Amino acid sequence: MKIASFDVDAQNGFTANAPQELPVPEGDEIAADLNAMALRADLRLGSKDAHPANAAWVVADPAQMLQPLPLANADLTWVSHCVPGTPGFELLPGLPAPIDYDYFVWKGVEPDLHPYGACYHDLAERRSTGVIEYLKVQQVGAVIVGGLALDYCVKTTAHQLRRAGFQVLLYLPACRALTQAGAIAACGALAAEGVILCGDEAALDYQLSLIKEDRP
């Protein structure tokens, strides 16, 4: 059984490097911790939001965000972010190029799509990005997850992986949330599903040692 790490949407668009987009507090500080996750894994996966500038869910003012939409695959309004070709689309400095990951997902490419999790292109979770299938073919049993933002895309990706049958370890030093309340709610929901929360490297290494003991 292999171990994978997953860098979820660790992009400038979710940091102070692109303040006009969706800056997550301290979001620009997680690259080293994502790299630490990868050092403990056999495979490294990553994802990016890749949104068109004319997306149906875009609003001009942050005060207009988080309003419900009558769209099948975009449930809330957001300001424009992570548009290909802009600085906000790029991964955080210090991370590999997308081509250097073992598997990489670009999501939300169509104007009417705004998925949160990296395992499916649609909110109904019927159109796979191939992540789950890839992990199963590679005989991965556990996935270490980190990225941005904890209360949205990281939470949903971890949930999808857990529901697909993988052991999931959420490495908290490699995560940041849009809000503290969102972080607390996400951690509580994931822990209730059996996701293992790891607050530091020692906790991560301990949980990985238990997993490795169970390897066939």
pLDDT tens for 10-55 read 999 999 999 999 999 999 999 999 999 999 999 999 999 999 999 9
Start-end of H helices in the chain: 31-39, 131-137, 155-163, 180-192, 201-213
Contacts of 61 (CB under 8 A, 6+ apart): 79
Q: In which band, very low, low, confident or very high, does the pLDDT at 216 lie, cut at 50, 70 and 90?
A: low
Structure token digits, residue 101: 């990951």
> What is the mean pLDDT of the segment spanning 98-117?
98
In sequence order, the β-bridge partners of residue 43 are: 4
Contacts of 90 (CB under 8 A, 6+ apart): 11, 12
**Among candidates 150, 20, 148, which has minimal Cα distance to 78?**
20
Q: Is the pLDDT of residue 213 over 90?
A: no
Q: Are 41 and 179 in contact (CB under 8 A)?
A: no
Give per-residue pLDDT as tens, 72-87. 999 999 999 999 999 9
Residue 196 CA to its chain's centroid (Å):
16
Enter the pTM of the model.
0.97
Transcribe 107-155 into DSSP letters.
Answer: E--STT---SSSSBSSTTS-SB-SHHHHHHHTTEEEEEEEEE-IIIIIH
